[in-house]
Amino acid sequence: MSKLEFDGRVAIVTGAGSGLGRAHALLLASRGAAVVVNDISTAAGESVVQEIVAKGGRAVADGHSVATPEGGASLVHAAVDAFGTVDIVVNNAGIVRDKTFAKMDSTMFADVLGVHLNGAFNVTQPAYEIMRDRKYGRIVSTSSAAGLFGNFGQTNYGAAKMGLVGFTRVIALEGAKYGIKANVVAPIAATAMSAGLLDEDWERRLKPELVSPAVAWLAHESCPVSGEILSAAAGRVARVFVAETKGFYTPDLTLEDVRDQWARICDESGYGVPESAEGERNMLAAAFAEEESIKQ
């Protein structure tokens, strides 16, 4: 099998001065992509650019904050100025402000959503316009188990990360006719954001560079999927999906029906994976049809 390359492609990677973003930028550049290394730490971004250039790659640093619409637009403009276009956006920038829900304040909540969720919007929308005009694009956004499954002390982070799933699913639907694919990676990696939370064995296993192959696959032109979620950690890649049970249906539903049919409502056998909100409505229509057939 031939190697997957990114020759001629231009990628923006946010939060790329260290950790996961750095690993993504290095891998994409090593396979031929021109990379815009975005990080609010100019020194960190320049350091990654120097690594890429020293290995024969092409990269420029960008220090705009993704937390504002102006910063996102300026980042995309910088990519166009440097390399002529944008083919790939990897939304990786993030912060943590952990507190239990009772102690969480509105500023901590807004700050985290501002970087993770708003930041993805601020960068992706101007890039999407370019992709739409060129009928090609790849968007990879970074979710987390904290959003998908929950994590103590991270209501703000979890809300932002699950928000990125909905953000991606809609872009995948809207972008399909323009050749734009949008997917999600949910990584676990030892980075500055996890400092002090992992023991030595986990630190050794959870290398950021073992997440990047999954990100690069989702960013590649040959990747066939859109609207998907990949969990990636320590060399393991798995699909995460939102599913719905077959459930219980009656046209005269009562409160007592929900109580009495609870086991059936939660029965995971025969579950479905709706591809969109319309897909869920199709599952509901199937329940209507089944009820009618029983009556007949």
Kindly list the catalytic residues.
157
Instruction: Give the DSSP H or E segment for 10.
Output: strand 10-13
Rounded to 5°, the CA angle 12-231-65 comes to 30
Our measurement of the distance from residue 12's CA atom to the centroid of its chain's CA atoms, rounded to an integer in Å, reads: 14
Structure tokens at 82: 């440097």
Our measurement of the distance from residue 231's CA atom to the centroid of its chain's CA atoms, rounded to an integer in Å, reads: 10
CA 67/CA 64 separation, integer angstroms: 9
CA 154/CA 169 separation, integer angstroms: 23
Alpha helix ranges (H) inside 58-144:
69-83, 106-134
CB-based contact 172:181 (threshold 8 Å): yes
CB-based contact 51:24 (threshold 8 Å): no
Which amino acid appears at position 5 of this protein?
E
Nearest CA to 36 out of 73, 88, 108, 71 is that of 88
CA 290/CA 59 separation, integer angstroms: 57
Half-sphere exposure of 273 (CA within 13 A, CB side): 8
Which amino acid appears at position 113 of this protein?
L
Classify each residue of 20-36 as buried b or exposed e, where b means 16 or more C-beta atoms within 10 Å of its C-beta. bbbbbbbbbbbbebbbb
